[in-house]
């Protein structure tokens, strides 16, 4: 709903004294009060979408029993991860770029808000005038000029409101960038832990193969093992050694990627790491879908873009109406510097101008049409952002629940495979099973252990994705969590 208010300005009558001049200047300076203003409703845009009462994959019970805390990353109970998360929010360069964009957006608000206030300009000059054979005469002038574009139709004010919403967009963009950054830090750190786990599995598997190779060499020397058994085991040991460098590549590249997120040179960056088994996945509930509209910064960003486009349409529509320019000038002027401030040197002028577009080659119509197109674009983008937010939460809930379940089942597989390998190795030493049985149980164990590491990594990534989908930390009043200061805001 838009309300437009306007008041007429009575021109100053007569030019008979400084009192009237002062009154005229007062009218000029009060122009912003007399200008029209737009008051847009604060209701959310009509989405045309059904907001579900609950998430399909949410756990039963209170939906907000364990919503994300502001410092949600502490729930993983890793001091190193917590330190990395907090440092990234201060040092990350993507966040620094987003902060710089806020500074620009705030400055743009000031630029577009300037036309709502009168402009004052002071001038002073001295010149020599000579015409024909007449002697040169000096001319001295000091004056102050005030001008104001009366915003009867609210064009300038709507433009200012659009800029303010764009400044809000830049702030939510910083929230999105920050949330993406710290989620990337968590995911990269989890990838480092998983690579370290896989390296441990590979080294343990290599050690077991070398133990068996030593046993086969002893048996070969005693004539109880064949050359085929020896060559086969040597090939297996070499294969397992060759599997370690790719894991080192994954680990070291992940550390370099984390260094970039922390704004460090990779050569000077070190991560202790550990194991995925040391990371605790915190209990988390998703809240209500309606809460997500306030908590997810990507949704709020899309909403602010839509609000900005609404004001841009109002500004484009107001451009069709006449524009009134008020100008007043006052000062002193004299041919002699000594009499510049004398009684007869004073002068003033008042003027009012009206401009009405008559024909501009359909420029204004095209600009309005363009503004409406942008408005429609951001409306659809907002609707998509809402649906995408719901979808991300549902997918993350599914992934977290199923990978948690798979982790338990895969742990049973690893335990059973470990027992089978231990028994087969003992029996091979006793000569009751052949080498093929040992190799099969060892390969089964290696595959099961590697898959368990990958499942744990997938579970941790699902937890991180769920926090990101929910918008990071939730504050009690439903506003976005405050970020640590960075640079100049």
Task: State the pLDDT at residue 169.
Answer: 94
Q: Which of 5, 81, 50, 21 is nearest to 261 (CA)?
A: 81
**Residue 180's closest CA among 89, 102, 256?**
89
Q: ∠ at Cα 345 (343, 349), nearest 5°?
A: 115
Confidence at residue 225, expressed as pLDDT on a 0 to 100 scale: 85
pLDDT in tens, 47-89: 677 788 888 888 776 677 678 888 999 999 999 999 999 999 9
Q: Which residues have C-beta within 8 Å of that of residue 103, sequence separation ≥ 6?
A: 488, 489
- For 345-370, how does the pLDDT look when each residue is reduced to its tens digit (9 = 90+)? 777 888 988 888 888 889 989 989 99
Q: 419-447 pLDDT, tens per residue?
A: 999 999 999 888 888 888 999 999 999 99
Mean predicted confidence (pLDDT) in 380-396 = 94
The CATH code belonging to domain 39-120+151-324+363-469 is 1.20.1600.10
DSSP symbols for 67-130:
PPPTTGGGGG--HHHHHHHHHHHHH-HHHHHHHHHHHHHHHHHHHHHGGGS-EEEEEEEEEEE-
pLDDT of residue 65: 67
Burial class of residue 45 in the structure, from the number of CB atoms within 10 Å of its CB (0-12 exposed, 13-18 middle, 19+ buried) = middle
pLDDT in tens, 231-254: 999 999 999 999 999 999 999 999
Average pLDDT in the 170-192 region? 96
Tokens standing for residue 377: 């674009």
Q: Quick one: pLDDT at residue 13? A: 35
Is residue 4 very low, low, confident or very high in pLDDT (cuts 50, 70, 90)? very low
Going by pLDDT thresholds of 50, 70 and 90, the confidence category of residue 202 is: very high
Residue 298 scores a pLDDT above 50: yes
Interior CA angle at 392 toward 80 and 86, to 5°?
Answer: 20
pLDDT at 46: 63
Domains of the chain, by residue range, sit at: 39-120+151-324+363-469
The distance in angstroms from the start CA to the end CA of the chain is 34
Return the bridge partners of 347, or none: 331
């Amino acid at each position: 709903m838009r309300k437009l208010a306007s008041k007429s300005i009575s021109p100053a009558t007569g030019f008979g004294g400084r009192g009237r001049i002062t009154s005229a200047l007062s009218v000029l300076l009060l122009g912003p009060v007399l200008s029209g203003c737009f008051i847009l409703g604060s209701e959310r845009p009509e989405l045309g979408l059904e907001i579900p009462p609950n998430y399909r994959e949410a756990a039963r019970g209170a939906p907000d029993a364990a919503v994300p805390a502001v410092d949600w990353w502490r729930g993983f109970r890793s001091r190193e991860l917590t330190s990395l998360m907090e440092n990234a929010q201060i040092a990350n360069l993507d966040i620094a770029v987003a902060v710089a964009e806020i500074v620009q957006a705030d400055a743009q608000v000031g630029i577009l808000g300037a036309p709502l206030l009168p402009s004052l300009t002071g001038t002073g000059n001295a010149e020599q005038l000579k015409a024909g054979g007449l002697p040169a005469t000096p001319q001295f002038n000091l004056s102050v000029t005030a001008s104001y574009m009366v915003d009867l139709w609210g064009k300038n004010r709507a433009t200012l409101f659009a800029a303010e919403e764009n400044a809000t967009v830049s702030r939510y963009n910083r929230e999105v960038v920050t949330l993406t950054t710290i989620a990337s830090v968590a995911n990269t750190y989890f990838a480092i832990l998983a690579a370290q786990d896989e390296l441990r599995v590979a080294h343990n598997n290599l050690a077991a193969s070398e133990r068996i190779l030593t046993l086969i060499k002893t048996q070969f020397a005693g004539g109880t093992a064949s050359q085929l058994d020896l060559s086969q085991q040597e090939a297996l040991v070499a294969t397992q050694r060759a599997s370690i460098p790719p894991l080192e590549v994954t680990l070291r590249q992940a550390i370099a990627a984390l260094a970039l997120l922390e704004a460090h040179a990779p050569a000077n960056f070190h991560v202790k790491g550990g194991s995925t088994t040391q990371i605790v996945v915190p209990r988390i509930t998703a809240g209500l879908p309606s809460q997500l509209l306030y908590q997810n910064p990507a949704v709020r960003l899309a909403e602010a873009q839509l609000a900005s486009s609404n004001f841009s349409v109002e500004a484009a529509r107001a451009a069709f109406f006449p524009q009134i320019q008020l100008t007043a000038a006052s000062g002193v002027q004299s041919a002699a510097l000594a009499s510049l401030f004398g009684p007869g040197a004073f002068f003033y002028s008042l003027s009012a101008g009206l401009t009405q577009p008559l024909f501009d080659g359909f420029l204004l119509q095209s600009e309005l049409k363009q503004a409406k197109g942008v408005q429609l674009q951001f409306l659809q983008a907002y609707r998509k952002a809402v649906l995408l937010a719901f979808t991300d939460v549902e997918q993350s809930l599914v992934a977290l629940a199923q990978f948690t379940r798979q982790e338990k089942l895969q742990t049973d597989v690893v335990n059973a495979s470990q027992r089978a390998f231990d028994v087969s190795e003992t029996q091979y030493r006793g000569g009751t099973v052949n080498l093929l049985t040992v190799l099969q149980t060892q390969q089964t164990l290696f595959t099961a252990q590697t898959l368990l590491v990958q499942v744990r990594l997938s579970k941790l990534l699902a937890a991180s994705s769920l926090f990101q989908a929910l918008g990071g930390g939730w504050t009690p009043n439903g506003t976005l969590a405050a970020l640590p200061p960075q640079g100049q805001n």
